Every structure is written in C-alpha cells, then in structure tokens.
C-alpha cells in the first residue's frame, strides 16, 4: 500500500490544479448557458456573475473519497457516509440552473443526512473528550438535524466574494491537521482534498469574483465538514463538536441571525441581508476586508481547537477561549453594524462604481473569453463586461430550504 504521506501530498497537488482548471471550465459552461447571478436591491454584489463554480470542489472531493477507499485508507462504511454529499451536490447543481422547490431540497438534505448517519451506525453517545453522554436514538436524530443545519448555514454564509472559499480552505486544513495528528489519515486526506480544491476555486472567486460557488458547492462543503466530523468521532475518537470549532464563525453568524430574526418575529423564509457579514458590507467594508476578518477569526478558533484536542488538560480552557473569542468578536461587529458606523466615507455610488471598475479591470486579462448571450430579462454586465440577462436571484434567505442564496 502507498504510504499515506505520499497520498496526502499527491492528493493536495492534484486537487489544487484540478480546482483551478475545473472552475475555469465550469465558468465557461455557466457563461454559455447564462447561469448568472444578476444583482438586485438585496444583492451584495454589483456585477452579474456566473455561479456553480463549487462543482469543481465537488468533483475533486468525490474522486478523492473513491480513491481513498480503493487505496484502503477509508473503510467502505465511512466512504459511503461521506458520499452522501453527492445527493447534496446534485440538488444544488439543479438549483443553480433554475429555481427548485424548497420542499424537494429539504427532502434531499434529510435523506442524505439519514444516509450518512445510518452508514456510521448512529450516534447513541455524544462525546466531549473525557465527558460522554448516552442519548440513544436522540443522538442519531440530533446528528441528522446537525447535518441539515450545516448544509444550510454554509449556504447562508456564501454571500460575498471569497468568504465561503476561504473558510473551506482554512477549516478543511485545520481539520486535516488535527485528524492527521490523531491518527486518522484517510479522513485527514479527504479534508485536505476539500481544502486544496477550494483553494483552486478561490483563484477565481477572490474579490473581485469571476464566478460564485453556487448552491452545488456551498451546501456540499457544509455537509462534507459535518460528515467528516461525525466519521472522526466514530473512527478516531475525536469529538465531532470540538472538530467543528474551526467552523465556529460561520455557525455563530448564521445561528445568531436566525435566532434574532425569530425573536423579532420576522419571516425566516423571506430574503434579507441581516447576517453580520452582510451588514458590514452595507456599511462600506469591501468584500476582501470582511473575508479577511472572518479568516483571521477562523484561524484563531482553529488554533484553540487544535490545542483542545492535542492537549486534553487544556481542552476545557481552549473551548472556553474559542467561545469567548467568537462571542466577543460577534458582539463588537454587531455593535458596529447596529450603530451604522460607515468606515468607508465615500458615497455609495462611488463605492459601487469602484467595485464595477475593479471587476472590469481584473478581467481584462481574460479578454480572450468573449462569450455573448441573448437578453431575456434585465441586462447587467458580467465580470467580463459583457451584458447578459438572467432571472434575478433571491439572496440572503435565512432558510436555504425556503429561499435561494444570492451568491
């Protein structure tokens, strides 16, 4: 059998290259078929941009899982659980092509989650390292709901350039390092493949984005992190709750927003722009600034998660530190947003104009791509400066099972 270290670095290199190449292919496909997100009054972007680039991440991830099973680095039941992501990807890909029934999406998400938990033989015990709780069938039910929530919350958070791709790179890398040190090379490589493919995708998605991840990518990445964490608890005695700490920024923002909207008796299925990261963009923070801030927080929480798992004596303090970091950062950002402190003093028109100029400038190097499209509804410029038309996309919905995301 090939040594796991060789497999690891080979998988990272191949996934990185394929991530770049396949995203470019998907972009051409999306442009040719007018699979475009056209800005509307709720959008955080100002230029019509193709979507569905996350398919590149999906293809690398699925191929990686199959290869790891063939090489004997993943047992069949783990590989089958992880491959539940295929159903999430297919329904997301279909949704990226056109509006899909919310009920259909929810049914598929539930089915994929039940599939994964069943292959992992359920979760009668919830573990936090030295502490465990025997919960019987309730543990399996909670695991299913957690997977559905992770699938959707990652979709909620994919609303500005680079944010979901960067999070996939950082969280995937953190989980890979932790699992490698914990003696679970197969799952570590699966997570590393996800991170490397996301890095390749980020080449096209970093502000100003030339393609969006789409539902096919965001939902699949969230589901993948959830199933990897659950699988790790089953095979490597690594608590899933601790392993998901690096995803704390996304979990915190999405959960806080849902709870706040519920307390205000707002319609949870209505489109909105009330996530913390979206409010910062509205206040004048450019996309790369918000994405960078989220990435810094993710690195801090990831470091604390690593300490919790590698040094059990410091686990409680590390977990508490991660919670304090997230709560304190969230409180500060919420205060900034609620006070309406605009950090960019330029008028909105100037900021939009600058954003449009940056999109056009960044894509002038790609002038060899001169795709043209037929107009069917409201025309808007693409990142290549070519007018296109596509149905306006709902964005910022707080229940992906109810509304589409905008980016």
DSSP readout, 286-308?
-HHHHHHHHHHHHHHHHHHHHHH
Whole-number pLDDT of residue 390: 42
Q: Cα–Cα distance between 211 and 192 in angstroms, integer?
A: 22
Helices then strands, counting H and E runs in the chain, come out as 15, 6
Q: Cα–Cα distance between 22 and 63 in angstroms, integer?
A: 13
**List of residues 6+ apart from 101 with CB closer than 8 A:** none
Q: Residue 168 pLDDT > 90, yes or no?
A: yes
pLDDT band for position 158 (cuts 50, 70, 90): confident
The end-to-end CA distance of the chain, in Å, is 42
Does the predicted TM-score (pTM) go above 0.75?
yes
Q: Is 257 in contact with 398 (CB distance < 8 Å)?
A: yes
Q: Is 162 in contact with 293 (CB distance < 8 Å)?
A: no
Whole-number pLDDT of residue 130: 64
Q: Residue 53 pLDDT > 80, yes or no?
A: yes
Give the mean model confidence (pLDDT) for residues 341-349.
41
Q: Residue 84 pLDDT > 90, yes or no?
A: yes
Give the mean model confidence (pLDDT) for residues 78-91.
97
Give the mean model confidence (pLDDT) for residues 348-376.
44
């Amino acid at each position: 059998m090939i040594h796991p270290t060789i497999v690891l670095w080979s998988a990272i290199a191949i996934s990185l290259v394929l991530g770049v190449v396949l995203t470019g292919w998907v972009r051409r496909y999306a442009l040719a078929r007018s699979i475009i997100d056209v800005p509307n009054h709720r959008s955080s972007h100002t230029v019509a941009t193709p979507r569905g680039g996350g398919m590149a991440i999906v293809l690398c991830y699925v191929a990686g899982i199959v290869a790891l099973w063939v090489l004997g680095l993943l047992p069949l039941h783990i590989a089958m659980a992880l491959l539940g992501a295929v159903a999430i990807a297919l329904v997301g890909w279909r949704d990226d092509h056109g509006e899909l029934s919310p009920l259909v999406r929810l049914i598929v998400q539930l089915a994929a989650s039940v599939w994964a938990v069943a292959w992992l033989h359920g979760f009668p015990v919830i573990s936090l390292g030295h502490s465990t709780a025997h919960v019987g069938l309730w543990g399996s039910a909670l695991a299913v709901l957690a997977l559905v929530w992770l699938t959707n919350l990652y979709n909620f958070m994919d609303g500005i350039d680079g944010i979901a791709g960067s999070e996939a790179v950082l969280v995937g890398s953190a989980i890979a390092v932790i699992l490698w040190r914990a003696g679970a090379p197969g799952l570590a490589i699966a997570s590393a493949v996800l991170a490397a493919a996301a890095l390749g995708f980020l080449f096209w998605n970093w502000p100003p984005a030339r393609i969006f991840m789409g539902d096919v990518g965001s939902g699949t990445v969230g589901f993948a992190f959830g199933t990897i964490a659950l699988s790790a608890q089953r095979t490597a005695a690594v608590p899933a709750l601790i392993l998901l700490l690096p995803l704390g920024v996304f979990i915190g923002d999405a959960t806080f927003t849902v709870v706040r909207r519920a307390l205000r008796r707002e319609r949870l299925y209505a489109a909105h722009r009330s996530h913390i990261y979206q409010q910062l963009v509205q206040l004048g923070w450019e996309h790369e600034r918000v994405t960078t801030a989220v990435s810094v927080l993710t690195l801090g929480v990831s470091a604390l998660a690593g300490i919790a798992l590698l040094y059990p004596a410091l686990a409680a303090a590390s977990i508490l530190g991660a919670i304090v970091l997230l709560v304190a950062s969230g409180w500060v950002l919420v205060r900034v947003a609620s006070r309406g402190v605009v950090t960019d003093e330029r008028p909105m028109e100037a900021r939009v104009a600058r954003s449009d100029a940056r999109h056009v400038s960044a894509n002038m190097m790609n002038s060899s791509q001169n795709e043209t499209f037929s107009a069917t509804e409201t025309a808007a410029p693409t990142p290549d400066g070519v007018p296109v038309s596509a149905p306006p996309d709902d964005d910022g919905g707080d229940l992906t099972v109810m509304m589409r995301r905008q980016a």
